[in-house]
Amino acid sequence: MSHEHISQSISTVHPIRLSHGHNAEVWDSQGKRYIDFVGGIGVLNLGHCHPRIVAAIQRQAGQLTHYAFNAAPHEPYIEFMQRLAAFIPVSYPVSGMLTNSGAEAAENALKIARGATGRTAVIAFDGGFHGRTLATLNLNGKVAPYKQKVGVLPGPVYHLPYPSADNGVSCEEALKAMQRLFSVEIDVAEVACFIVEPVQGEAGFLALDRSFAQAMRRFCDEHGILLIADEIQSGFGRTGQRFAFSRLGIEPDLILLGKSIGGGLPLGAVVGRKELLDALPKGGLGGTYSGNPIACAAALATLEEMTDQHLQAWGERQERAIVERYQRWKSSGRYPCLGRLSGVGAMRGIELLNQHGEPAPELLSNLLASARDAGLLLMPSGKSRHIIRLLAPLTTEPEVFEEGLDILQDCLARR
């Protein structure tokens, strides 16, 4: 089967053709089995074909496959939004809207921020990733390949350094850069919102500095600026809690959701303070497919599985396995290519370095191929694409997870 009718501007990491999957295992069209540490790039926190989700999809498909909520409301949308609002760990009343994807959630959050504040400027962060649509491209803190050859992007958008123990940028450095920004580049009174990932995904699983997060929250409150938390990749248990912003001791005004919200079906959401979600005129929000009944049914089944007890147990189990294995590798001295271990909970990155201590993207590219040959699918991340991104389903059986780490260990030993 040829790829000639698929745009060559779409890049794929693994040159295989998947046939089917179960939890953390997938099989290609030739019947070869792989352990999946990619999880649809964070979409499958509950794994492939979770029986509860599959049953919900099948049941809903026999009742109502689609209706545009803007035309006539349907029960799955209403019920899911009620459950989702209760699932968001904030102190204020939550309202929201469903979208088709995380990028669409980000686009709508920008509209909401403009409508609520009457301002247009956005502050984003170096290394951030918020989508591939035209407005979200400008939010991204990286040019190649996302911003290349597309010309002037919607704005205004300004970027600050992202402070994290994982990248060596301190809270003080970021605050100094913020002070300079508002002294030199833009009047703070023109800023509608800050948008930030509590744990950056594309950049290599960098956890936001807690002190900076709290200082940013205070600054936003002082100046009437909204704070948007992008939890598209870090949410729904990936860090061991419902959402990563809880680790920072802050409450965002708007929260972007996607990826694992729908158990594998296309779905996203913007949720937050009710007065903000109601700021635009009637008809200012919505979409034909947004909140499709089948996707909502899958999302309801997903939330039913994501109890705090489950999320904590799953996150702690994977975190413990990753940290213990990494520390063993590091202390042995047998893996000179190993750099730092980044991230929190089960959202972890492993940096690969060359003999000079510099990022080694070629090394990771070779590792991805050798791991795939051995039956393990991995995903790159980081500015230089030199960080292994670990996104195995949270429900991965311990023996399967250990098998995957064994394969990774064998491949690292050959570097």
The whole-number pLDDT of residue 207 equals: 97
CA distance 102 to 132: 10
List phi, psi (to 5°) of 340: -80, 160
Give the mean model confidence (pLDDT) for residues 329-346: 96
| Range 187-209 average pLDDT | 97
Residue 133's pLDDT is: 92
Share of the chain above pLDDT 90, in %: 95
Q: Where would I find the H helices in 30-170?
A: 39-42, 51-61, 75-87, 102-117, 134-139
Task: Return phi, psi of residue 243, to 5°.
Answer: -140, 150
How does the average pLDDT of the chain come out, rounded? 96
Specify the higher pLDDT residue, 98 or 4: 98
The reported pLDDT for the residue numbered 355 is 93
One-letter identity of residue 313 = A
Mean pLDDT (whole number) for 129-141: 93
Sequence ranges of the domains in the chain: 18-45+308-413, 53-305
d(Cα 102, Cα 233) in Å, to the nearest integer? 9
Instruction: Tell me: pLDDT of 101 over 60.
Output: yes
Which sign does the torsion angle of CA 139, 262, 198, 218 carry?
positive
What is the reported pLDDT for 369? 98
| Domain over 18-45+308-413 is classified CATH 3.40.50.150 | no
**pLDDT band for position 153 (cuts 50, 70, 90):** confident
Q: Which three-class secondary structure string do you get for 27-52?
A: EECCCCEEEECCHHHHCCCCCECCHH
- Least confident span in 1-10, 63-72, 92-101, 303-312: 1-10
Which pLDDT tens digit goes with each residue over 245-286? 999 999 999 999 999 999 999 999 999 999 999 999 999 999
Tokens of 197: 């990932």
Q: Please list the residues that pair with 226 across neighbouring strands.
A: 193
CATH code, 53-305: 3.40.640.10
Q: How far apart are the first and last CA of the chain?
A: 34
Residue 2 pLDDT class (50, 70, 90 cuts): low
Residue 1 confidence class, pLDDT cut points 50, 70, 90? low
Average of per-residue pLDDT across 16-21: 97
**What's the per-residue H, E or C state across 303-346?**
HHHCCHHHHHHHHHHHHHHHHHHHHHHHHHCCCCCEEEEEEECC
* CA R_g for the chain: 21
Beta-sheet strand order (sheet of 33-36): 18-22, 25-28, 33-36, 376-377
Rounded Cα distance, 258 and 232, in Å: 5
What is the CB neighbour count within 10 angstroms for residue 158?
A: 16
φ and ψ at residue 172, rounded to 5 degrees = -65, -40
Average pLDDT over residues 406-412: 97
> Percent of the chain at pLDDT above 70?
100
- Per residue in 212-230, pLDDT tens? 999 999 999 999 999 999 9
- Read off the pLDDT band of 97 (50, 70, 90): very high
pLDDT at 4 over 90: no
Give the Cα separation of 127 and 141 in Å (integer).
4
Strand pairing partners for 255?
229, 271
Residue 140 DSSP class:
S
d(C-alpha 268, C-alpha 232), whole Å = 8
Q: What is the pLDDT of residue 142?
A: 85
pLDDT above 70 (res 378)? yes
What is d(CA 308, CA 268) in angstroms, rounded to the nearest whole number?
A: 21
> Per residue in 27-72, pLDDT tens?
999 999 999 999 999 999 999 999 999 999 999 999 999 999 999 9
